Amino acid sequence: MQIEGIKPLDILQKLIRLKTFEKELDDEQGSGPETEQQGRKLLRGNGRAFTKHIHSFIQYPSFQEYALSKQDVLVIAFLWQEHLEQTGRGVNWTEICGSVQLDALRVKDCLDYVLSLLERQIISFDEQISGNYYLNPLILQTAEFTLNTCFTLQVMGRDLRGELAQELSEKWDTDEDFLSDLKLIFDLCHSSFGEYRGRSRGRGLQLEAGIATICLEIIKTRIRKSGDKLGIGRLVKQQELCDTELSILLLIIYHQTGREECISEQSLVSALSVDPRDFWRLQRMIDSKSRLVTEGVIQRRPTRFVSNAIEMSAAEHILKSIGVDSKAATSMPEPLNPVFEICLTQQTLKDLIISAPEKSLLATIIRKCEGKYQSKLKDWGFEDISRGKQGLVILLYGAPGTGKTFAAGAIANELHKDLIKLNIAKLRNKFYGESEKLVKRAFTRMRKMAEDKGQAPVFLINEADQLIHGRSRSQSSCDAIENTIQSIILEELESFPGILILTTNLESNMDEAFFRRFDLKLRFELPDLECRRELWKLYLREEIPGAKEIDLEVLADRYGFSGAQIALVVQNACVEALSRKGSAMRLFLTDLLKFAELEKSWSKGINKSVGF
């Protein structure tokens, strides 16, 4: 569809160029009467062209549903230019309003306008927002926005609905055809439009609500046309599912059968609602008192990883009615045992401030965890050497505070997996024989989680020397128990199927029998001079009064501290600064030197080398 042979992208391109030309003319004003007269003439012509192109964009058939105004088109042009020049960057509300010269001091008017763009799905949040911004407009002030994906595709002349529909089978003869196309259409969109959002179970890909809606509408249209001849059609009729209930069930079935995972309550609600005012209505439709739950269509259960979170699955008889073997489908997982703890991580490899060789080795570890070269290694004859072992056991060791635990989080994030920490203290029991049982149960559960396709987390044992240490030759009952625990762990590490990271500051305390069980070992040294500069810069944030005037070179050169020590010195110095009043309430180099000297006296032997 075109108007006067001009496509939407062409119109935006012309608007951007006209806007740039207008700015250049404004900059040249004051060059003389004749030049100014020519400039005014050009500006008038520019204005007429502006109006013509904006009107063409507004009248474009595929944009009629958006009820666009001149102001909207200018915002769209601005966001499109930002997308081209700085791909992946969101813009805030003041930038959106500034692009159409709305006064940012009139905050309510500006936020109302941003809200109208969101409601019409012209723009979207650049990250997942769980709060209700109708109740709390401050959410809009702290968020960043981009052009909505569906709207952007229309600007580019793409018909997503039509293109996806063409990928489906010509007709459905069986429920297997339905399930195959349900998986196909959502897999296509997840791989093309999905983004990693928040801390959802499995760190799965989250679709923008508009994309999910298009997928569901295509599938639901096919179901209606198929009528009662398919199990899914009979199910809709028997359960008297309304349109929204069918959408809920389809998403649950797709995740349970197609992605081999159960969708969380939050992800389900987010995928089906553009407007946060719909969140509560949808949550009522899937809560424990809802018709779908009380009549046994769907089930609810706490997630393994995130406290106070719920996962959804279709009941066994529902799966059977559409030809799914309930044993083959993902069952609801067991809740996470108290000996495990979810670690919320955001860091990536680039956030680590460590030496270049250490970062390079860490990148190698991540590549091995990804298994990219597994088949090639087999071609090179390594299959017999690895004895068929599927997992990786990694030891990160070195001085305290050098970033070992932080690095474990980065590995998990780079692999898009959850990081689950084993709580060693809860494996100890005062009753004879109970500790061995707890250790065995913990590893049995870890194996089960590690073998869960698409859901396997990265496991972490911090301060592993407390659990894995030298075996005793003493005949006492306590030593016998400890030796039994060591034997259990040795056996488990030999064939562990997942990714397990152990950290320690005291590797010399470990039993030597464990060393060959570690597939990879990385020593974290105290940061070098360049890293120390970066660490001081990181912790002396701009928000701290006086931080910009601090001579980082003096601190980095004088003190061979770890990152944790630098963070502690800065925090203590800031507390000292806050105790003062008036203009003296700011950070001075003397504050940092005072607490750095105190820290130095404690850490004289921290960088002594402790080898294997």
Q: What is the rounded distance in angstroms from the CA atom of residue 492 to the CA atom of residue 253?
A: 35
- Give the pLDDT confidence score for residue 471 in this predicted structure: 59
Task: Report pLDDT for 286.
Answer: 93
Handedness of CA 69, 72, 77, 80 (dihedral sign): negative
Domain locations in the chain as residue ranges: 8-155, 160-335, 343-524, 529-602
Hey, what are 534's tokens?
């970066």
Which residues 6+ apart lie within 8 Å of 27 measured at CB? none
Pair 606, 400: CB distance under 8 Å: yes
What value, to the nearest 5°, has the Cα angle with vertex 611 and ends 609 and 612?
A: 165
The answer to whether domain 8-155 and domain 160-335 are alike in fold is yes
Residue 575 confidence (pLDDT): 93
Amino acid 611: pLDDT: 32
Q: What is the pLDDT of residue 26?
A: 53
Q: What is the dihedral of CA 69, 71, 77, 78, to 10 degrees?
A: -150
Task: Tabulate helix, strand, coil % of the chain (nearest 5).
Answer: 55, 10, 35
Structure tokens at 113: 């306008």
What is the DSSP track for 170-219? S--SSHHHHHHHHHHHHHHHHHHH-EE-TT-GGG-EE--HHHHHHHHHHH
Return the pLDDT at 373: 65
pLDDT of the residue at 377: 67
Q: How many residues are present in the chain?
A: 612
- Note the CATH architecture for domain 529-602: Orthogonal Bundle (1.10)
Q: For the domain bounded by 343-524, which CATH number is listed? A: 3.40.50.300
Complete DSSP assignment for 50-84: HHHHHHHHHH-GGGGGGT--HHHHHHHHHHHHHHH
Three-class secondary structure of residue 258 per DSSP: helix
Contact 504, 548 (CB under 8 A): no
**Domain 8-155 belongs to what topology?**
Arc Repressor Mutant, subunit A (1.10.10)
Tokens at 491, concatenated: 């056996």
Which burial class, exposed, middle or buried, applies to 31 when counting CB atoms under 10 A from its CB (0-12, 13-18, 19+)?
exposed
Cα separation of 476 and 431, whole Å? 15
Quick one: how far is CA 71 from the chain centroid?
Answer: 33
Q: How many CA atoms lie within 13 A of 147 on its CB side?
A: 23
First to last CA, the chain: 71
At residue 87, what are phi and psi to the nearest 5 degrees?
-55, 135
Assess contact for 178 and 159: CB atoms under 8 A.
no
- The C-alpha R_g of the chain, in whole angstroms, comes to 30
Nearest residue to 43 via CA among 22, 74, 70: 22
Give the pLDDT score at 233. Answer: 93
Measuring CA to CA, how many Å separate 5 from each of 8, 9, 60, 77, 299? 10, 12, 11, 19, 54
CATH of domain 160-335: 1.10.10
Structural contact between residues 462 and 405, judged by C-beta atoms closer than 8 angstroms = yes
Containing H/E element for 118?
helix 107-119
* Alpha-carbon distances, residue 124 vs 9, 62, 157 (angstroms): 19, 19, 19
**Under DSSP, is residue 395 helix (H, G, I), strand (E, B) or coil?**
strand
Q: What is the pLDDT of residue 36?
A: 47
Is there a contact between 309 and 266 (Cβ–Cβ < 8 Å)? yes
Q: Are 98 and 104 a contacting pair, CB within 8 Å?
A: yes
Specify the pLDDT at position 2. 42
Provide the pLDDT for residue 274.
77
Burial class (CB in 10 A: 0-12, 13-18, 19+), 89: exposed
What parts of the chain have a pLDDT lower than 70?
1-6, 21-47, 130, 194-206, 260, 303-308, 326-337, 372-378, 381-390, 428-433, 453-454, 469-479, 509, 511, 603-612
